[in-house]
Amino acid sequence: MERLQKVIANAGIASRRKAEELIKEGRVTVNGATVTELGTKVTNKDIIKVDGKQIEKEKKVYYLLNKPRGIITSVTDDKERKTVVDLIPCHERIYPVGRLDYDTTGVLLLTNDGEFANILMHPNDKVEKVYIVKVKGIIKGDAINTIKNGVTVDGISYERAKVKLRKTDYKTNTSMLTVTIHEGRNHEVKKMFESVGFPVLKLRREREFIFDLKGLKSGEYRKLTPKEVAIVYSLEKGKKNE
Ligand code: URA
């Protein structure tokens, strides 16, 4: 479901503001009925007309990027730095699904399909986010168990996490772990480890749901297959049937 004014704007007919005016002026119909309320939600199947002419909806596109370090996860930047959107040359108005920090690398999905993005951003036990984490220090079982049970930092409770120690290196005084979570709170993994005294030095998202980095070097991207998109949509159907 997407807001009517956004769908009209994305069809390239008008700016978002102009689209809102068109709606308020009663010039827009959805499935034959005039709609004057801003924020009305529509789906891909709805037929939208402006002044009696059906709009061509923007084609939905889906990308998987191996995000490099040093790029911000947003559509635009007020400091005019490069953003993840600049790494994918396409005509559609894509945006990232969730966010990765400036210095975090790995799996990042981008799309212009709000429904698809919402399904993945809504916490769901089936949507695992798997991170490879390098921390400063030699981490021990008690700190790992604390994170496994869920930590609270500055009044924010972070979910329980699956944590697996991969290796410790006494020479460099670092530890590597695999962490699996389901939410996407700001700086979630960093906050979890900082709270037990192990600052994160490097963070890479290895997988989100079924999407991993196979075949993608840093900065490379690929389109999702129709089957992959359908699998994401099937998550929503699964929820409705519960
Ligand atoms: N957790 C973080 O701390 N940073 C990220 O970029 C992703 C998850």
Residue 206's Cβ-count burial label (10 Å; 0-12, 13-18, 19+) is middle
Dihedral sign for Cα 216, 218, 222, 226, please. positive
The active-site residue out of 101, 103, 125, 212 is 101
CATH architecture for segment(s) 62-124+210-241? 2-Layer Sandwich (3.30)
Report which protein residue has its CA nearest ligand 1's atom 3.
187
| Active-site residue, 113 included | no
pLDDT tens for each residue of the chain, 242 residues long? 889 998 998 888 888 899 999 999 999 999 999 999 998 999 878 999 999 999 988 889 999 999 999 999 999 888 888 899 999 999 888 999 999 999 999 999 999 999 999 999 988 889 999 999 999 999 999 999 999 999 999 899 999 999 999 999 999 999 999 999 998 889 999 999 999 999 999 999 999 999 999 999 999 999 999 999 999 999 987 665 55
CATH architecture for segment(s) 2-54? Roll (3.10)
User: 133: part of which helix (H) or strand (E)?
Assistant: strand 129-136
Superfamily of domain 129-208 in CATH is Alpha-L RNA-binding motif (3.30.70.1560)
Is residue 194 within 6 Å of ligand 1 at its C-beta?
A: no
Identical fold for domains 2-54 and 129-208, yes or no, is no
151-157: long-range contacts, CB 8 A cutoff, minimum separation 24: 151/191, 151/192, 151/195, 151/196, 153/191, 153/192, 153/194, 153/195, 156/185, 156/191
> For the chain, what are the domain ranges?
2-54, 62-124+210-241, 129-208
pLDDT, position 239 = 61
pLDDT, position 100 = 97
CA of 27 to the centre of ligand 1 (A): 44
Other CB atoms within 10 A of residue 36 CB: 11
DSSP 83: B
DSSP 72: B
Is residue 189 within 6 Å of ligand 1 at its C-beta?
A: yes
Number of H helices and number of E strands within the chain? 6, 17
pTM of this structure: 0.84
Indicate the top mutation candidate among 67, 84, 100, 204 to test ligand 1's pocket, ranked by most ligand atoms within 8 A of CB: 100
CA of 189 to the centre of ligand 1 (A): 5
CA of 161 to the centre of ligand 1 (A): 13
Give the C-alpha separation, 118 to 60, whole Å.
Answer: 14
